[in-house]
Structure 1
Amino acid sequence: MKRNPKELETTHRTLSRRALLLGGFQLVFAGGLAMRMRHLQVDQADQFRLLAEENRINIRLLAPARGEIFDRNGIALARNSPSYRIIIVPEDAGDVDKVIKDLSRLIEIDPKDLERAIAEMRRSPPFLPVTLADQIDWQEISKVAVNAPALPGITPEVGLARIYPRRADFAHVVGYVGPVSDYDLDQITDPEPILRIPRFQIGKVGFEAKREDMLRGKAGAKRVEVNATGRVMRELDRRDGVAGADMQLTVDAELQGYVQARLGTESASAVVIDCENGDLRAISSAPSFDPNLFVRGISIADYRELTENTYRPLANKSVQGTYPPGSTFKMIVALAALEEGIIGTEETVWCPGYLEVAGRRFHCWKRGGHGNVDLNTSLKRSCDVYYYDLALKVGIDKITAMAQRMGLGIRHDLPMSAVAAGLTPTKEWKSRNRGEDWLIGDTANASIGQGFMLASPMQLAVMTARLATGRSITPRLIKSIDGIEQPNGAGVPLGLNENNLRTVRKGMFSVSNDRRGTGYKSRIIEETMRMAGKSGTSQVRNITAAERAAGVIRNRDLPWERRDHALFVSFAPFDNPKFAIAVIVEHGGGGSTAAAPIVRDVMLQALYGGTPPLAAYPKKDRNRIKAQQERLERERPARLQDASDRA
């Protein structure tokens, strides 16, 4: 049937609109698809490229070299030494048991290391390397290298291991490193990936732990190409890590070694501080231990020997130990009274051997008493009654304020483990911590450094340095970081009356240089190096009235743990103080007999910068001192192994 032209025109217009609409939809779809393809191929190209590369490229961390630690003269205290180890790739080894058996014929493999390695191989993919032997010597590594063709899967490697050349001399100061443990990771909120590197080591105690952030350095990285199963095919590039900062301490390795040797087998500690800048020249705690034992993991037998030792070699007594300061605290009471104007230098107190306080007798160490005693005599002869009387006039709060001003009862900011704050009590402290009122007898006890009073050898050394200089000496352990000198601890004037300080110093001079002084036997003869000091004896047991009536049992007749602690503090030279020293001998008995001789010997060693001449000692002591010097010199080589290694 033939259509008329008008119908044909209408049909054509309808088809054109439909075609246009369909074409428009197709154009929009094609445009959207093109935009999406552009977004995926251009805008997100880097992201998809990374996703693709992660299927074949792994980024692995490289442990940085740990910063090394030196003494003030550049002697190495903690250094990195090449460490050789043997690794095995089970997949390449084939018959693992046979390869290990062949390797055992060449070198000795610790059964514990072998057991650990086998366990690691069982839980790891066969293409991952496992360490069979660590820290082996060059001769052993050479044997393995020569026989490499007969040892499939075995590869010798070299790394860095932490070494402590001075061994026990600096164990309590420097500390040691060890592998990162689960406990270590739990203590860190957001542990760095580097801490999860197998066998990566961090500081565990001491300076190594307290300055871990600076010593550790920054990890490097390498990109390796791996196949679909994760096996390494080749290394693409490498970025070495940033080594940790090298640290120079203020301590003198030679002096530290002498002090450690001089303390010998005693349970004791000693601190030597520079009066000019606060530098800690020696910080010793005896007995000590070899920190190298802890680097790879100490044996059960060795650890038990340390923990079961009554003398507590693992404890850092110099900063961690707190003790009643005994009569070394009497300078604080005297200075507090002088500053308050409560006492004059010529005023005397009668000492019959005791003082009645609130119906209770507080005894002097000298049973018959000292008679009339002035300030100088009270220090020289260490009269207790004088200070009972003085403290009751001054009051505990003012005494404590002076003690804190002189560095006691304060946790000094030092990069060492478990630095103690000690205790300088007040009325408010006892009420808050004991729920009891302060008693007048508490003040009497505090006046002679007993009762609640506690101080560490470090704090007593700081106290002595401040008495010697009148400045707020602050102890400093870090001399420089990567060669950059650190602020010193010279301090500023304490604002104390110089005449009062001079009076207390004069009393301390009498202790060591007056024939009736408690420290006279341990004096220095050399005129330009005369020292001032103060002895102290702190009780660790109560003396009953019955025992006092029958006669106090002598220290040497008591079990070791019930004997008094022996203390002595000193500074020298008297006219121009260079060093202040504090020594505590646990359960050593009298301070003048057990601690004072050590202080005198250490002081001379510090002043002379080495072995002092015998002429500096009293004549009657010279033969004994000569024998002592010769003995210490014979023992020196073992202490100074590798001491020639320097920065």
Structure 2
Amino acid sequence: MRRAQKDIEESAAIISRRGLVLGGGMAAFAGLLGLRMRHLQVEQADQFRLLAEENRINIRLLPPARGQIFDRNGLLIAGNEQNYRVTIVRDEVDDVEKVLHDLSKLIPMTMEDLERIREELRKRSRLVPVTIADRLSWEDISQVAVNAPALPGVHPEFGLSRMYPRGADFAHIVGYVGPVSDYDLSRIDDKDPLLQIPKFQIGKTGTENKLERALRGKAGTKRVEVNARGRVMRELGRDESQKGSSVQLTIDTRLQNFTQARLSGESAAAVVMDVETGDLLAIGSAPAFDPNLFVRGISVKDYASLTENKYRPLANKAVQGLYPPGSTFKMVTALAALEAGEIGPEETIRCVGHTELASRRFHCWKRGGHGRMNLRNSLKQSCDVYYYELAQRVGIEKISAMGRRLGLGERHDVPMSAVATGIMPTKAWKRENRGNDWVIGDSLNASIGQGLVLTSPLQLAIMTARLATNRAVTPRLVRSVNDVETPLGTGAPLGLNENQMRYIQDAMFAVSNESRGTAYSSRIADKSLRMAGKTGTSQVRNITAAERARGVFRNEDLPWERRDHALFVGFAPFDKPKYAISVVVEHGGGGSTAAAPIARDIILAAQEGGMPSLNSYPQSQRGRISSALGKLPVWDPSDPTPPETQA
């Protein structure tokens, strides 16, 4: 059937319109393509001419500025300083040996330096910059910059390096940074490309290590155009790096400096804690070291002087050191007995100088005995026999549980290296770790902080803060990160009987403020600042029966390594506790003679906000105290240059 003429005309019109649309689209596309070709061939001719001459684009990392660390008052304790260095990129060099030879005429390089550079170039990617020299003088870096056109692949750079303006005072707290090593790469699961940059510095110890990711920041990138000879022609663009977080610690620089100065000459540790917030105000460990030595590259001689020192300056004794707490543990045993109802505050136990148990004698420190002792006097005069009896009544499980309740035998979460857990032993613990069953003698030893019990100065300070407040105070070292406050360590109530806690607090007051108290000679005269405390002496050797028969050697007559450790714990002011302190003097002898005087000076400095006033000391001691305080190597925190530190 033939189609109507009208239908044929309509079909032709539709085809014509579609053809016009298709043709117009093709024409527009051709026009756009022509414009693009003109743009590339005419307007960007110079750029592509350079690319045709074998230029290429490199992407380079921009290391971020490491975050700074401040004390609680905003004083800088870890910062960055300008560092001039020279790097080389293997992919941009045809003849490495020639470049190194030419460069050695401009800056000082030893044969060892050259061999190190060659080794780094062999190990690293051809695109990764290798540091040739850093910490150069302005004159040296200027020489390299002027001759840069003749040194392909060599780049003078202006970066930042870590510095610690407070020297040894914060060495054990903040730690130090150092170049990323193969060992570091093998043990950390971190894909950050910054770690592949030779000599890039990361935290090695202390807070620098524990807060590494926050302090490190994030890398930036820059795109540069280089020619066939490796010379940078121009920078095409960059994404700036993000600097590391700013961290504020709870430490008070002035108190930290005084603490370190007061511990000088000893192998010792001290911790000062705010009992209301848990803030760690000072963490002293002596002797210390200058962390700047490690950042700049410590010499063999300097490192040997640290590792061969019998006082172990590299160890942070405040958190890593574990010591038998001695008589500072007696409050734990007393509270366990009170809570269990095994003893009343006024009940007395007779001390004859020893306790007989299975044909073995457990001696009191006072050979002739103390006579009748109640709870208050047993702590005041530190009678051992009283606690031997409590141990037999209460048992190790309840004593150990009370110790953990007061913060002992627990690894506390503070960002420092190798924080120790300590040991609060139980019967099960001894079977698992010593392979032997528990015996009653173990309980007697534990009751006076000897035997298997081990604690750190940090734990003892926490224990004391909990005794002062009846709260589960926890330590806080980081106050804020980028001005965001971290939670306080106030803690929940311990749930211990308030009356029983007051008995313990009152007995600790007697230790430091009554004439027969073991720390009476270290009392504070100012009544508004008075301290409650407890001395401790822990043995590091067994005393034989033969030695007791002929008379026990005095500590000062023994080699240093065989002398007893001296300990003291305390809180102040007694009427409204604010500060808790613990002091351990390794092989210091008696806690009353070696540790208590140090603790008194430090806790006075904490309360008075600086050098203790002589009016705070008993009149008869002021001449001696004035002379001793005047010799301390303290310095003004506003002074940017610390005194020379001692290893």
TMscore range, shorter length = 0.7 to 0.9
Indicate the residue corresponding to 1:436 in structure 2: 436
Q: Is the 8 A contact 1:102 1:151 kept in 2?
A: no
Q: Give the Cα separation in 2 of the matches to 1:189 and 1:213.
A: 12
Q: Give the Cα separation in 2 of the matches to 1:609 and 1:151.
A: 60
Structure 1: give runs of 5+ residues left out of the alignment: 1-40, 42-51
Q: Is the 8 A contact 2:129 2:198 kept in 1?
A: no
Q: Evaluate the alpha carbon distance shift between residue 587 and residue 127 of structure 1 in structure 2; reply closer, same or farther with a 3 A threshold.
A: closer
Per-residue Cα deviation, 1:235-265 (whole angstroms, up to 9, x for no partner)? 2110011111110000011110110011002
Indicate the residue corresponding to 1:357 in structure 2: 357
Indicate the residue corresponding to 1:627 in structure 2: 627
Equivalent residues in 2 for 1:110-125 (5 A)?
112-117=112-117
Q: Give the Cα separation in 2 of the matches to 1:505 and 1:551.
A: 35
Displacement of 1:114 in angstroms is 4.8
Indicate the residue corresponding to 1:219 in structure 2: 219
Q: Is the 8 A contact 1:185 1:191 kept in 2?
A: no
Equivalent residue letter for 1:103: L
Q: Evaluate the alpha carbon distance shift between residue 562 and residue 109 of structure 1 in structure 2; reply closer, same or farther with a 3 A threshold.
A: same
Indicate the residue corresponding to 2:531 in structure 1: 531
Equivalent residues in 2 for 1:277-356 (5 A)?
277-356=277-356
3-state SS of the aligned residue for 1:476? coil
When structure 1 is superposed on structure 2, of 296-305 and 210-219 the one drifting more is 296-305
Displacement of 1:612 in angstroms is 2.0
Displacement of 1:641 in angstroms is 3.9
Per-residue Cα deviation, 1:200-255 (whole angstroms, up to 9, x for no partner)? 11111111111111111111112233457876543211001111111000001111
Indicate the residue corresponding to 1:584 in structure 2: 584
1:414 aligns with 2:414: yes
Taking every aligned residue pair, what percent have the same amino acid on both sides? 62
Q: Is the 8 A contact 1:509 1:531 kept in 2?
A: yes
Q: Is the 8 A contact 2:464 2:570 kept in 1?
A: yes
Q: Is the 8 A contact 1:325 1:538 kept in 2?
A: yes
Equivalent residue letter for 1:247: V
Indicate the residue corresponding to 1:511 in structure 2: 511
Q: Is the 8 A contact 1:110 1:133 kept in 2?
A: no
3-state SS of the aligned residue for 2:631? helix
Q: Is the 8 A contact 2:635 2:642 kept in 1?
A: no
Indicate the residue corresponding to 2:260 in structure 1: 260
Q: Give the Cα separation in 2 of the matches to 1:142 and 1:97.
A: 17
Equivalent residue letter for 2:635: R
When structure 1 is superposed on structure 2, of 315-324 and 148-157 the one drifting more is 148-157
Equivalent residue letter for 2:265: T
Indicate the residue corresponding to 2:106 in structure 1: 103
Displacement of 1:195 in angstroms is 0.9
Q: Give the Cα separation in 2 of the matches to 1:418 and 1:592.
A: 29
Equivalent residues in 2 for 1:70-469 (5 A)?
70-87=70-87, 96=99, 99-100=102-103, 102-104=105-107, 109=109, 112-117=112-117, 131-138=131-138, 140-141=140-141, 148=147, 156-226=156-226, 232-469=232-469
Q: Evaluate the alpha carbon distance shift between residue 359 and residue 127 of structure 1 in structure 2; reply closer, same or farther with a 3 A threshold.
A: closer
3-state SS of the aligned residue for 1:285? strand
Indicate the residue corresponding to 2:15 in structure 1: none
Per-residue Cα deviation, 1:391-447 (whole angstroms, up to 9, x for no partner)? 111111000111000000010011111011100001111122222211000000001
Displacement of 1:620 in angstroms is 2.1
Equivalent residue letter for 1:595: A
Equivalent residue letter for 1:175: G
Per-residue Cα deviation, 1:7-39 (whole angstroms, up to 9, x for no partner)? xxxxxxxxxxxxxxxxxxxxxxxxxxxxxxxxx
Indicate the residue corresponding to 1:636 in structure 2: 635
Indicate the residue corresponding to 1:47 in structure 2: none
1:557 aligns with 2:557: yes
Equivalent residue letter for 1:467: L
Q: Give the Cα separation in 1 of the matches to 2:200 and 2:357.
A: 62
Per-residue Cα deviation, 1:307-344 (whole angstroms, up to 9, x for no partner)? 11111111111011110000000001111111112111
Equivalent residue letter for 2:300: I
**How many residues were matched structurally?**
589
Q: Is the 8 A contact 1:567 1:582 kept in 2?
A: yes
Q: Is the 8 A contact 2:354 2:385 kept in 1?
A: yes
3-state SS of the aligned residue for 1:168? helix
Equivalent residue letter for 1:422: G
Per-residue Cα deviation, 1:421-476 (whole angstroms, up to 9, x for no partner)? 10000111112222221100000000100000000000000000000011110000
3-state SS of the aligned residue for 1:136? coil
Indicate the residue corresponding to 1:567 in structure 2: 567
Q: Evaluate the alpha carbon distance shift between residue 395 and residue 122 of structure 1 in structure 2; reply closer, same or farther with a 3 A threshold.
A: closer
Q: Is the 8 A contact 2:177 2:294 kept in 1?
A: yes
TM-score, normalization: structure 2? 0.86
Equivalent residues in 2 for 1:23-62 (5 A)?
56-62=56-62
Structure 2: give runs of 5+ residues left out of the alignment: 1-32, 34-50
When structure 1 is superposed on structure 2, of 504-513 and 186-195 the one drifting more is 186-195
Q: Evaluate the alpha carbon distance shift between residue 223 and residue 95 of structure 1 in structure 2; reply closer, same or farther with a 3 A threshold.
A: closer
Equivalent residue letter for 1:567: L
Per-residue Cα deviation, 1:146-199 (whole angstroms, up to 9, x for no partner)? x65998667642101000111111111101111111111111335222210222
Q: Evaluate the alpha carbon distance shift between residue 429 and residue 150 of structure 1 in structure 2; reply closer, same or farther with a 3 A threshold.
A: closer
Indicate the residue corresponding to 1:473 in structure 2: 473
Equivalent residue letter for 1:508: M
Q: Give the Cα separation in 1 of the matches to 2:106 and 2:570.
A: 60
Displacement of 1:58 in angstroms is 3.3
Per-residue Cα deviation, 1:586-605 (whole angstroms, up to 9, x for no partner)? 00000000000000000000
Q: Give the Cα separation in 2 of the matches to 1:214 and 1:185.
A: 18
Q: Give the Cα separation in 2 of the matches to 1:403 and 1:244.
A: 40
Displacement of 1:358 in angstroms is 2.2
> CA RMSD, aligned part only?
2.8
Displacement of 1:142 in angstroms is 5.4
TM-score, normalization: structure 1? 0.86
Displacement of 1:359 in angstroms is 2.0
Q: Give the Cα separation in 1 of the matches to 2:218 and 2:484.
A: 20
Q: Evaluate the alpha carbon distance shift between residue 170 and residue 436 of structure 1 in structure 2; reply closer, same or farther with a 3 A threshold.
A: same
